[in-house]
Every structure is written in structure tokens, then in C-alpha cells.
Amino acid sequence: MGKITTEQDYDEKIIRTDYSEIMQKNYIDYAMSVIVSRALPDVRDGLKPVQRRVLYDMYELGTRYDKPYRKSARIVGDTMGKYHPHGDSSIYDSLVVMAQDFKKGQVLVDGHGNFGSIEGDGAAAMRYTEARLAKITQEVFLQDLDKDVVDFMPNFDETEKEPQVLPVRVPNILINGSEGIAVGMSTSIPPHNLGEVIDAVMAFIEDSDISEEELLRKLKGPDFPTGGIIVNADDLPAIYASGTGKLRVRGRTVIEKLKGGREQIVVTEIPYTMIGAGIGKFMSDTAALVESRQTTDITDISNQSSKEGIRIVIELKKGADAENIRNLLYKKTKLEDTFGVNMLVVAEGRPETMSLKRLIESFVDYRFDLATRKYQNLLARDLEKAEVEDGLIRAVDVIDLIIEILRGSKSQQMAKDCLIYGRTEGIKFKTKKSERQAAGLHFTERQATAILDMRLAKLIGLEILALEEQHKETLVRIEHYRTLLNDYDAMAADIVADLEAVKKEYARPRRTSIENAEAAVVKEKEVVVEEVVFAMDRFGYAKLLDKNIYQKNKESVDADNRYVFPIMNNDRVCIFTAEGRLHTLKAADLPVKRIRDKGVPVDNVSNFSTKNETILWLCPMETLMGRTVFFATKQGSVKQTAGDDFISNVRSIASTKLAEGDSLVLAGLSDEVEQVVLRTEEGYFLRFALSEVPVFKKTAVGVKGIKLDDGDEVKEAFLLAPGLDLTVDFKGKPVQLGRLRLGKRGSKGVKRK
């Protein structure tokens, strides 16, 4: 009978623990998995797991650089099925990046087809593109995989084996760099010049006590595939010593002279950070400089880039200061940008931020491990080979005896035992002498097997001579391997020679210049202060108009716009919102347009948000000086605030303090006002003297303006100047506000039906 499970049995299997502890443990496990198994590169081969798996799968598929291309979809599918079960998009994206020469210092994949462009065009679908290993990948990253120099581990379902790390012979972590975002940490390592990196590694091998400064004489700094100029050379020693810091990268420009004395600025290399959508952003930002009148000297910008390289042309007016415009572009656009360096890698299974010297040291240790395992395996292989060769050479000298043993033996095992142990029992010999000679044989088992497998053709004289020469070469190699394994200097010299060979084959000139440059200084043109007209339509598009043009078209401008008022071109516009915020925008940030031209959205030139806020009132900041501002809210609060409280260079401040759930219904100047009228949703009107409303700071809540019934709220508020008899419509009937009974602030008012 089966065992009956009781409630007590279940109780014993319940693990009681804090929920927070479970969450903490699981989250840490997840974070470490992302850090180590996805986002960060290994310091040894400089690859993330998905990159390593793609390259290894291509190696397994035989997509060599001298073989035909294979469909990317085949490579991606094979990688996903065997090694990386995380979706095809991440695998294909990784494959594409490794084939893009504008992102990698050394491309690792030779792509055929549309693999995207530097301007941000995406790669074609994987079913259309083809790929194969680049020559450097095959010869420098994967060449020694067959020599058992790295450890292999089971794949996700334990049906295949994959390398834990690739036997890369150069420090790929520096040559190609890496970028990745993990959980709570990220890495950003710039690419470097292969030749300079190898020089730095060789210098470290020669002197492991070399300083960071001496290493930087070999490795000048980052070398971006897009070229450009690093302009803070003095910061590099600190960046490489700590592993973190910021690089200032500029695009390379030339000033070309045109006919008629005009000039144009041509961008020939872009900052590495501008790859992709950054080029379009640069062009739109440059156009925005003209629209916002930060410069009037740019007449056109065009992207004339092609397969030959980057060429972005900025045409200038005649007489324009090209140098000043270039500095303006450096200062206001991404033509000069910051590249954040954070040399975070996975070392011995954990994340670590490393200095340049520490990165090189880690690679050199790995390189010596690879060489040691390689030569140990080659030594073992050649020792076996020498053993066999020695046995065959000895066998040739007694070949007649061996043939007699083979003919006289009843089985292969009997002959083998005779060759190894000298056992002659059961073997028929022609003479006793032969039997005595056979009893003295002592070949090894490996030699005996080789002798038994030897073909008669090997007995030809030339073949015997070749075998003897081959044996000499094998013994020389064995001696060489033993020297390398027992002598550090010999091993170091061998590694240096290999690095020099790689440098000779694959090194290329540096693309990125490194220098110290002053921060871009822009000579501001003197702005002629003049009066213009601010206009904003009901959709929130604002512009400035010449005041003379406005006077000629006053009626149509007033009809087409919600706000129209004169303002000085060096003043600010104040935007009071129903949510109790005050946003300011510079009049200088608004374009001067023609009557029918569209303006720019107010939320593009200020902190005002069209989605979350409602404009209540606009005015020039200058008009607030020495004046007072009246506020009324839907919950019936009122107050006055000195206009000087709102004079500020801050783009956004609180205009007043509001109770929870409250909002403004009116904000306006109250200096020349005598009375206030509040109208509620239920139809109560209250007119009272403005003198009853106290003046508070903008950070204070107002006082009660009207007594409200439950569910009622203020819908409108009006300011009445002396002699002004304002008439409003309420439920289709006119209401003359000046004839309402004068009441007291805080009372209920009169209800109109």
C-alpha cells in the first residue's frame, strides 16, 4: 500500500520566511544573472555572452571569411536553438552591431546586404542579409579553439557544449570597447586603436611595474571609428587611472570658401555619440538656432553624406564670422558632446571597475594562461608523436623480425603482446635466433599499435628518410615547447612576437585626434532693444511681430490670436496657469514671423505643459514691477500679491499656494481696480470692494472671498475698474455687474435665476 500523506507531512514542508527576504534574494539573483550573463563583457575576451555565442555558432557552422556567406536568419536561429534562448531580436541586433564599421574599432562579422547606416537607418530583416566571420575574428579570436585552451560548459539544455570564453589573442575589451546597461550598473568603454593597444600590452609584458602615464605614451587614448577630436587630453590620465570619467568629443569641421566671399562650414567627422538619430537631431538643433534668432548668419544646412564619408554642409551669409558660428555649434548642439567612461567588466565572475593598467594586466594573465594550455597540449601531442616515430624508426631496423612475428602469430593481440612484452608463446618462428630476438623486444603500447597499423609503403627508403627528418623536427618542437613552459621570458617573447604579427596584419592609422582645446566661446552680438508685439493663438503657438506690421494688420491679428500685447524683445513673458504655476519664457527665444506664419509651441520654449496645465493669463514680466496681482480660486479664496514677488530668472515657480483640489479661476493686475465680482456655478453673484482683499506673499493661501454651499464652486471672477460697468451673460440673460448689490467679502451674495 502507498503511504498516506497527512496534514502534518505538509506542514513539515512549509518554509516560513519574511516576504521581503524572499524578494530581496530573488532580486539579487536576477540582478547578478543580468550583470554576468547578459549586459557586461568579460575582461578576458571583451565579449558579452550573446556576442560570444554568435561568433562561436558561426565558427561551428563553418562560415569562414574565405567561404560563402550564410543567411543571417540561419545563424540567428542556430544560435537561439543551441546557445541563447532569449529571442531572435537580441541575437540579430548583436550580429548587426558586430558588422557595423562605424560602431566597432574592428568589425568581427563580415556582413553582406543592408546592415544599417551611420545615419540611423536600421538593418534589413535577417531573412534578407547574409554574414560570415571576419578574417580577424577567425584568425585572432577563434584560431586556437581546437587546441583545448579554454573551458567548455553545457548549454542551457545540456545538449551542446559552448566555450566559457573565446581564446582571443588581443585585448578586445579595449579595441572594440563595450556598452551595456545591467541592473544598478552600466558599462561604457570606448574603442581604441589596435596597434596602440598592442604596443601598450607589449610594454606591460616587458615591465609589469610600468605606470599609467607610461602606458598612455603607447596608448594615446580612445580611437573612435567615426574619427572626431577629443579635446580634454589633460583629463585622460585621471580617467584611465580610475576607470571612470568624461571625454569631450568634437566633430571635425573645415571652413570652405565659396565664390562671392561667402563661406560654409563642412562637418567631415562626427562625435561617436552622434551615430544614428544624432545626425538628424544636430541638423534640427542647428535650424532651431536660426528660428530662435541665436544666429542669423546660417542660411542653409544640408546632409550630403555618402559612402565616401560624412559631409554636412552649413551655408553662411556673406561676411559671417565662420569661427564664431562653429563655436556656437559646439556649444549649442551635439557637434561637441560628452562620452561617459565607465570601464566596468566581469572579472572572475563578478563586476569590477578597472583602470587601464588593471585591464591590460588581466588580459596579459589570460594570454599567458592561453599560451600555457596551448603549449602543454602541443607538447603532450608531440610527445606522443615522437614516441610513435621512435617506435617506427626502431621497427624498420628489425622489420624482418616483425614480419616473422606477424606471420607466426595466431591473432593481432598475440603479435602486440610480443612487441610490447617479448612474449613468444604460441608464435611460430623460423629459427631459435629469431625467437630470442623477439623475446628482447620492448615497444610501448602506442608504438606497437602504430607498427601494426603501418603500411608497407612506409618501408621505401625515401619514406624512411622522411620519417627520420620528421622525428628530428618533432624533437626540436618538443624542446621548444619545454623551453616556453619552463622559461617566463621565452614565453613572453613568444607572446610578443604573436602580438607583433597581429599588429602588422590588422593595425590601421589612428582616426581620432587628441588635443587640449579651450571651451567654445561665442561672441554674442549686441541685441538692439526694441518693442515688438507678442501674439499667441488659441492652439498655444506663439511668435513675435514687428510693431509697424502689427499696426497695419491690427484687426486681423487680434481676431486670429488669443493673446496680443506689446513687449520689449529682451523681456520675459509670464504664463500664469490655473494650477498655480508661473512659467516664464524669453521673448528672445521666440521667432519674429510674418503675419500668416505659424509660431512655435509655447511648451517648446518654456516649462509649460500643454497636457497637464491650463493657461490662465499672460503678460510681460516688466508690467508686474511695482504692481499687484489678484488671485481667485474655484473654492472661493481670494488674495493679492505684490507683482515684484514674481520677478525671477527661474523658468518656473509657484504663483500662489492652493488648497488640495483647488485651482485658479482668475489672475490679473489689480492696481487700478476698485471692486471684485465672484460668480458661482449655482448662480450666486457677490460684489465687494477690493480693499477687503489683503496682500499676501505668493507662498500663502488666500482668504475666503465668498461663502459657498456644498457642491458649489466659483466659476468666474471679474475685476471692475472705476467707471467700468461690465455686462456678462448668465443663462442667456445679461447681468450688469456694476449694479449688483455691494456686499461684504466672505458673504453668500445674491442668487440670479
Q: Are residues 427 and 537 in the same domain?
A: no
Residue ending a domain, among 311, 334, 357, is 334
CA distance 663 to 709: 18
Burial bucket for residue 520 (CB in 10 Å: 0-12, 13-18, 19+): middle
Asked if residue 167 belongs to a domain, the reply is no
Give phi and psi for 185, each to the nearest 5.
-160, 160
Alpha helices in 440-594 (DSSP H): 445-453, 461-486, 488-506, 547-552, 554-560
Tens digits of per-residue pLDDT, 696-753?
999 999 999 999 999 999 999 999 998 777 889 998 889 899 888 999 999 999 998 7
CA-CA-CA-CA torsion sign (288, 231, 303, 224): negative
Q: Are residues 462 and 572 in the same domain?
A: no
Q: Are residues 294 and 328 in the same domain?
A: yes
Tens digits of per-residue pLDDT, 579-614?
999 999 999 888 888 888 888 899 888 999 888 899
Active site (catalytic) residues? 128
Residue in the structure block whose three cell numbers are 569562414 = 64
Asked if residue 93 belongs to a domain, the reply is no
Q: Are residues 741 and 652 in the same domain?
A: yes
Residue in the structure block whose three cell numbers are 575582461 = 43
Q: Specify the 3-state DSSP secondary structure of 441.
A: coil
Q: Are residues 691 and 562 in the same domain?
A: yes
CA distance 405 to 424: 9
Distant-in-sequence contacts of 729-738, Cβ < 8 A, 24+ apart: 730/679, 730/683, 731/683, 735/685, 737/677, 737/685, 737/687
User: Distance from CA of residue 530 to its chain's centroid?
Assistant: 46
Asked if residue 596 belongs to a domain, the reply is yes
**How far from 346 is each of 32, 242, 343, 362, CA to CA, in Å?**
11, 16, 10, 11
Would you state the cell numbers that stand for residue 355, as one nine-digit string?
Answer: 583602470
Asked if residue 585 belongs to a domain, the reply is yes
Asked if residue 145 belongs to a domain, the reply is no
Q: Are residues 500 and 578 in the same domain?
A: no
Asked if residue 238 belongs to a domain, the reply is no
How many domains, in total, are found in the chain?
Answer: 3
Residue ending a domain, among 489, 506, 523, is 506
Asked if residue 279 belongs to a domain, the reply is yes
Q: Are residues 497 and 535 in the same domain?
A: no
Q: Are residues 399 and 449 in the same domain?
A: yes
Q: For the chain, which residues score pLDDT lower than 50?
A: 1-3, 5-6
pLDDT score recorded for residue 2: 47
CB–CB of 589/579 below 8 Å?
A: no
Give the domain CATH number at 388.
1.10.268.10
Give the predicted TM-score (pTM) of the model.
Answer: 0.72
Domain containing 278: what range? Answer: 252-334
Q: Are residues 310 and 385 in the same domain?
A: no
Q: Are residues 712 and 586 in the same domain?
A: yes
Q: Are residues 568 and 628 in the same domain?
A: yes
- Helix (H), strand (E) at residue 395: helix 356-397
Residue ending a domain, among 292, 315, 334, is 334
Give phi and psi for 654, each to the nearest 5.
-80, 130
pLDDT score recorded for residue 26: 65
Give the domain CATH number at 634.
2.120.10.90
Would you state the cell numbers that stand for residue 689, as one nine-digit string?
Answer: 470692494
Q: Are residues 535 and 677 in the same domain?
A: yes
Q: Residues 476, 479, 481, 482: what is their CA dihedral angle, to the nearest 10 degrees?
A: 170
Give the domain CATH number at 323.
3.30.1360.40
Asked if residue 729 belongs to a domain, the reply is yes
pLDDT score recorded for residue 34: 53
End-to-end CA distance of the chain: 90
pLDDT score recorded for residue 1: 42
Alpha helices in 507-575 (DSSP H): 547-552, 554-560
pLDDT score recorded for residue 33: 59
